[in-house]
Structure formats: C-alpha cells, structure tokens
Amino acid sequence: MKVPSLALGLLAANLVSALPTITIPSLEEAAAEIEKRQSGVVTTNGISGTIWPRLEVRQMFNTRPNQWTLLILAMQAFQAQPQSSATSYYQIAGIHGVPRQNYNGVGQCSTCSDADGYCTHDSVLFPGWHRAYMALFEQQFMSVVNQIAASYPASQQPAMKGAASFMRFPYWDWAAHPAPNLPTFPNIVSQKYVTVNGPSGSTTIINPLFRHDFADPSQMYYSPFVNWQVTLRYPNSDSNTASSVESSATSAFESIRPSMQDQLYQLFSTCSDFLHFSNDDAGSSTTSCSNSLEGIHNTIHTTAGGPGTSTISGGHMTYLATAAFDPVFWLHHCNVDRLFAMWQSQYPNSYGASQDAPHDSWTIASGSTQDANSPLAPFYKDTNGNFWTTNQVQNWNTTFGYTYPEFYDSDGSKGAIASYINKLYGPSATATAGSSKRTAGPEPIAAAAPEPTSAALLQPRADAPLAAANGSLFQYVANIQTPRYALNGSYYVFLFNGNPATETPTEWITDAHLIGPMGVLSQANRTGHDLIAGGSIPLTRSMTAAVAAGALSALTEEAAVPYLKDNLKWRVAGPNGTEVDPGSINGFEIAVFASTAAPPPDEYSLPEWSAFIPLVEITVNKSGGANTTANATAVA
C-alpha cells in the first residue's frame, strides 16, 4: 500500500524536530487519501462532525495548552510537507498567487496569462472565495493535527486526541484591544523560537507562525522572492540571507490598531449592502460606505509585510502573489472570515451581488460578470467537477464545520453579535481580543476580564462638545480614492492631525500625529489592471483627543471645519519608501465628510449614521484634495 502523503510530511517534519514514532493513519484515512489521489482532485469539505469555534490565537495560547502545542507542531509538520504534494502547505499557499501553475488541474482562462494565481480581489467573490480557501487550509491542517496527536506516547494520547477533537485553526484579531501591556501583534506570532511539549518532551523549534521555510523558492516568480529561503516581514535586505525586523511590524500594528478598530466599526455600522461591503473596487463608488472588508484587510497585509525601501522589497504579505506563504496570512484571513460572518449576522437580507471583474485572475477574464453563483475555482465541492459558489458558502458552520466564539457563545442573533461588535470595536470598547467567552467545554477557558456595563458602552462621549442637541455623536471621516496599480507596487496613504514629525516615509506609520493608514495592496507591472480603490479613515477619535487637549472647542461643523482645514494632512508613501505627490496620481482624491451617529437604543444595536455631508473647504486647492462635491454624492 502506498504511504499517504501526510505521513510523508510527518517524516519530513521529523528530520527537523524530533517527533519519535510515526503513526501510520488508520485504514479509513489511508483509503480516503488514496481515493482522493485516484480521483485526481482535492475537494474542499471542511471538517465533518461537531461544529467547534475557531479561537483567537492568544485565547488558544492562554487557555488551551494542548491545542496550542498541536497548533505549533502541526504547522511545523504541515509546512515541512513536500512541495510536490497537492495537499501540502506549499501547494495550498500557492493557490493564491505564485507559483504560476494550475491547481486541481483547473486551467487558466485563455486571456489570463498575466495572472499570478486564483485569488479574487477587487471582486464580489472576495469574501466567499477566501472562505472556501480557509476551509481547505483548515481541513488539511486538522488532518496533520490528528496525526500529531496520534504520535504522542500512549499515556498522553487521550489528552492530545481529546484536545484535537474540538480544535479548529485560530484567528488573529488585529483590531480589538490587546490584553494590558501586551502588543497587538502577538509575541507568539512574532517571536522566532517557540518551546512546546512534543511527543518526546520539551522541544524548542523555529516558530512556524513566525515564518515558513521554503524547500525551494525558485517558483516565486518575482525578485527577490525567488531568492528568499524563508518568508519575511520588514526584510532587512533583498539577499538570500535576509531576516525579518519583527519589531517594525510590532510597532506598526500598535500604532494603527485604533484606526483599524474605528474603520471596522464604521464598516459594520454603515456598509449595509454586499457589493460595497465586499470589495475595495465597489467601495470607491459610494460615499457612506467607501471602505470595505477587503480594503481594511489590505492594510493588514501591507503592515505585516512592511512597505519596502528604495533598496529593499516589502515582505511576502505586502504582495498578493506571495502573501499566503507567510503563516500570519492564515491567522489574518481567519479573522477576515470571522468579520464576514459577523457582518452577515447584521445584514441577513443582503448576501451576494454582481460586478464585472476589473482584471484577470487565473480563471476569470477581465470584464466578465461575477455574482454569488460564480464558481470559486479551484475549490471543488465534490468529485463531479462542481466548484463552490458564494451562495453555497453562506452558512459557514453547517457547510464547513466551524464557527467563531461570538456565535458559539450566543444564539448568533443580530442583537447578540451587535453586542460583541460594540464591546470589541465600538468607540468605548474595552473587551480585549479573544475575550468572547463560552460557558462550557471540554477544556475550560480562563476567566475573562469583566465586561463593561451597557451604560458605559452606550454613553461614551455624549457630553456637549462631542454630540448634537439630539444626542447624536458628531462624526468626521476622510474618504480616499486611489488607483490601485498606479505606483508599480503596494503603497500607503497616511492621514495626520498636524504635519508628521518627519518627512521620512518609512516613519509615518508610527508617527505620533498619525490618524490612520490606508494600505494599498498592489503588484509591480500591473498598470493594465488599474482600478480605483476606495478607503475611509474616521477622524473622530483624533478630533475628540484634540477637544480633550483644548486644541479644538467642539465637534460642531463651525469649530471642526476650520480646525481640519488647518490640521488635516495627508501623505502618500510609494512602494520604494519615497514620498509621492498625491496630486501627481491621476484619479487620487481625498474628501472629508461630516455625519452624526445616533447612539443605539441598547447594547444589542449598532449606531445609525445620518447622511454624509461633503466638506470641500477642508481639502480644496490642496494636492490630491477634493475641489468639488462632484464625486461626493451622499448615499444615506
């Protein structure tokens, strides 16, 4: 009998760490694997059996020691599987972008030769495609987890197999407050080494959440990625001995977290239709929902990989073609899928939309119409050649066998999920990432911090300078439109309250005056693909701080407009770490709007925003600033 590829992966892993005995999979598992190979395709089925929650990665580390151990050892073994195996980490990561090759035998469209891979961006398929992608990753990851659990000595097997039986892949919540004195970018993801209790005792290994080691990076297509032997964040050179400067990632995520929280809360509160919620291309066409799930997700990509300088490329996460090889991609996309699920609960009657693809991907020709029945290639639903569709992945839990703590701990109703959104991401949020509690389970979770009272949540800043007479809170946002592929690589738009302390673009992300970033995830040599990406950065938090500091008297328009006219500044940091004049970018525009958010009647609702009013006088005659209200059609 042929030894299944998963066992081979374990053998390879053994050379690296020191797993003692190999347990050959059960006959059933082996038969299933062989059947899969004979049929020639990998199907995406998720995990059958009981539905368990995907935990926040720090929650798993803090409260589920055995699952944490399995996560680390399974990620190590998964990543060590042969690059040629169809179910290896390398092959699954390679679906997203490079290597430029077919997966599952699903061929390229005849006009798609310039595509790097199958991932659908700037597309209504973005949320559904990445949901199926995570499900495929998780099912292969969990099969390795089960192998690892079975490799423990008999005395430890019940505990490890028990932990595996209700485990799912974790997510990283990059928007909620971290626990006190801990960073937003978790140490358990940024530290190079990790120590766990393996099958033969305590073992210290290179952290498989810190990086992926390539057996052979030569198919990464782009330079310097073809030379880099490991995935990198804020690489310190383009040479094949480059290493990551994780402290740069840590300080960048710390600096942008409050804006990511505000961007997310605004998204949940104002983006009520699937088209605009789903992707950054659609987001450019409306005022009240200029941001999108994809747009917010882009900023996490560029901030994980780092922006690059005139002599050094950004890291793997900064480019779509290579992003999925960095293990943090999976923690990030798990969270993106969770945010999609939470959004679905708020707008249950808005699911799916139609849009023309603005550029090619591996199977989708530019200009072709995509909707909720379009195939999510290359993810097969069955062995008859049917692909999943956005409509078919609407219910994540019964379809793929996972859920999230917010759903597992509650009745999953609109109100229940809204209360988690308020606690984690609202203007007075104090709940920490991964604190959503469940009441019962096989392995107890440590007690979480006390929840804030609903009164504290709902009356955050309703004192006179910050609210209108009717109690609605004044809101100011800057909507940004920018051509995604115009600068021949990924880049940033930064907003500041006052001029930044330096004019060194690589320091802007941690500048004390930073209001927020918009990371534009792009790729070199893609001018033919161009499209306008929309983003939106809330200004209210920074202006509220100005009121507290006595620099601004109130958030009324009378006070706010002259203040923003003087103090709102913006910069564009190009892909090579140099400043780009926004006015020189054809199609770039930044426009400021006022709105008000009526406090929700209870903690189970989100605020309702009034119509967006354009405030052109703040940006007029400034480079890249809106000069007219022509593009500012308010959609309430």
Ligand X SMILES: *[C@@H]1O[C@H](CO)[C@@H](O)[C@H](O)[C@H]1NC(C)=O
CA dist 121 and 359 (Å) reads 9
Q: Which is nearer to ligand X, 287 or 576 (CB)?
A: 576
**Which whole-number Å values give the CA distances from 492 to 320, 403, 442, 498, 571, in the listed order?**
15, 33, 45, 18, 8
User: Mind giving me the DSSP string for 81-123?
Assistant: S-TTSTTSHHHHHHHHS-S-S-BTTBPPPTT-TT--SS---SS
- The residue assigned the tokens 């993810």 is 379
Sole binder of ligand X in the list 22, 598, 634, 635 (CB under 6 A) = 598
Is residue 190 a contact point for ligand X (CB under 6 A)? no
Q: Does 468 bind ligand X (CB under 6 A)?
A: yes
Select from 129, 145, 174, 184 the least CA-distant residue to 6: 145
Is 113 one of the binding residues for ligand X (CB under 6 A)?
A: no
Q: Quick one: DSSP state of residue 510?
A: G
- Residue 394: CB minimum distance to ligand X, A: 5
CB count within 10 Å of CB 384 equals 9
List, in order, residues 6 or more apart from 221 with CB less than 8 Å away: 98, 99, 100, 116, 321
Query: CA separation (Å) from 440 to 54, 61, 163, 171, 231?
Result: 15, 18, 15, 20, 38
In whole angstroms, what separates CA 214 from the centre of its chain? 23
Q: Is 358 in the site for ligand X (CB under 6 A)?
A: no
At 386, list the tokens.
């049917």
| Own/partner long-range contacts of 556-560 (Cβ < 8 Å, ≥24 apart) | 556/465, 556/468, 556/474, 557/594, 557/613, 557/615, 560/474, 560/476, 560/594
- Using CB under 6 A as the binding rule, the residues of this chain from 211 to 240 that contact ligand X are 222
Q: Which span (107-115, 146-154, 173-181, 617-625) binds ligand X, by CB under 6 A?
A: 617-625
Binding ligand X by CB under 6 A: which of 218, 627, 633, 636?
A: 627
Residue with smaller CB distance to ligand X, 153 or 471 = 471
Residue 387 Cα distances to 330, 373, 393, 451, 466, angstroms: 22, 10, 11, 43, 51
Whether residue 236 contacts residue 494, with contact meaning beta carbons closer than 8 Å, is answered with no
Number of residues located near ligand X, criterion CB under 6 A: 39
Whole-number Cα distances in Å, 504 to 62, 318, 499, 568: 38, 19, 12, 18
Does residue number 596 form part of the binding site for ligand X (CB under 6 A)?
A: yes
CB of 310 to ligand X, least distance (A): 5
Q: Taking the CB of residue 489, how many other CB atoms lie within 10 A of it?
A: 22
- Which residue shows structure tokens 């290896």? 88
Residue 358 tokens read as 């603005």
Among 3, 462, 630, 636, binds ligand X (CB under 6 A): 630
Nearer to ligand X, 40 or 583 (CB): 583
Shortest approach of ligand X to residue 201 CB, angstroms? 38
Residue 174 CB, shortest distance to ligand X, in Å, is 22
Element of type H or E holding 70: helix 65-79
Nearer to ligand X, 23 or 397 (CB): 397
Binding status of residue 379 toward ligand X by CB under 6 A:
no
Residue ranges in 448-532 assigned as alpha helix (H)? 454-458
Looking at beta carbons, which residue is closest to ligand X? 412
Least distance to ligand X from the beta carbon of 632, Å?
9
Residue with Cβ nearer ligand X (185 or 340): 340
- Strand, helix or coil at 24? coil
Q: How far is the CB of 353 from ligand X (least distance, A)?
A: 17
Question: Among 59, 472, 506, 522, which residue sits at the site for ligand X (rule: CB under 6 A)?
Answer: 472
Check if the beta carbon of residue 557 is closer than 8 Å to that of residue 594: yes
- Contact with ligand X (CB under 6 A): which of 227, 350, 610, 629? 610
Nearer to ligand X by C-beta: 278 or 403? 403
Binding mask 380-419 for ligand X (x = CB under 6 A): --------------xxxx-----x---xx---x-------
- Chain-centre distance for alpha carbon 608: 26
For residue 223, the minimal CB distance to ligand X (Å) is: 6
Binding of ligand X by 524 (CB under 6 A): yes
The residue among 208 and 401 lying less far from ligand X, judged by its C-beta, is: 401
> Of the candidates 587, 604, 634, 635, which one interacts with ligand X according to CB under 6 A?
587
Which residue of 34, 182, 620, 636 would you call a contact of ligand X, by CB under 6 A? 620
Give least dist CB 381 to ligand X, A: 17
Nearer CB in complex with ligand X: 310/384: 310
- Residue 624 found at the interface with ligand X (CB under 6 A): yes
Question: Restricting to residues 556-575, which ones interact with ligand X according to CB under 6 A?
Answer: 574-575
CB of 371 to ligand X, least distance (A): 19
Backbone angles phi, psi at 145, to 5 degrees: -55, -45
Only segment of 34-42, 364-372, 423-431, 465-473 that touches ligand X (CB under 6 A): 465-473
Cα separation of 129 and 388, whole Å?
9
Closest CB 556 distance from ligand X, rounded Å: 9
Cα 76 to Cα 60: distance, rounded to the nearest angstrom? 17
Residue 310 binding ligand X, by CB under 6 A: yes
Query: Which lies closer to ligand X via its Cβ, residue 37 or residue 565?
Result: 565
Check: CB of residue 556 under 8 Å from CB of residue 562.
no
* Cα 423 from Cα 293, distance rounded (Å): 19
Q: What is the footprint of ligand X within residues 412-451 (CB under 6 A)?
A: 412
464 touches ligand X (CB under 6 A): no
Q: Please identify, using beta-carbon distances, which residue of 207 and 399 lies nearer to ligand X.
A: 399
Are 603 and 457 in contact by the 8 Å Cβ rule? The answer is yes
Residue 625 in the binding site for ligand X (CB under 6 A)? yes
> Which is nearer to ligand X, 258 or 535 (by Cβ)?
535
Q: Does 350 bind ligand X (CB under 6 A)?
A: no
Query: C-beta of 419: minimal distance to ligand X in Å?
Result: 14
Which of residues 157, 272, 488, 510 is near ligand X by CB under 6 A? Answer: 488
Q: Does 470 bind ligand X (CB under 6 A)?
A: yes
Residues lying near ligand X in the complex (CB under 6 A): 222, 310, 394-397, 403, 407-408, 412, 468, 470, 472, 481, 487-488, 524-525, 532, 574-576, 578, 580, 583, 587, 589, 596, 598, 610, 620-621, 623-627, 630-631
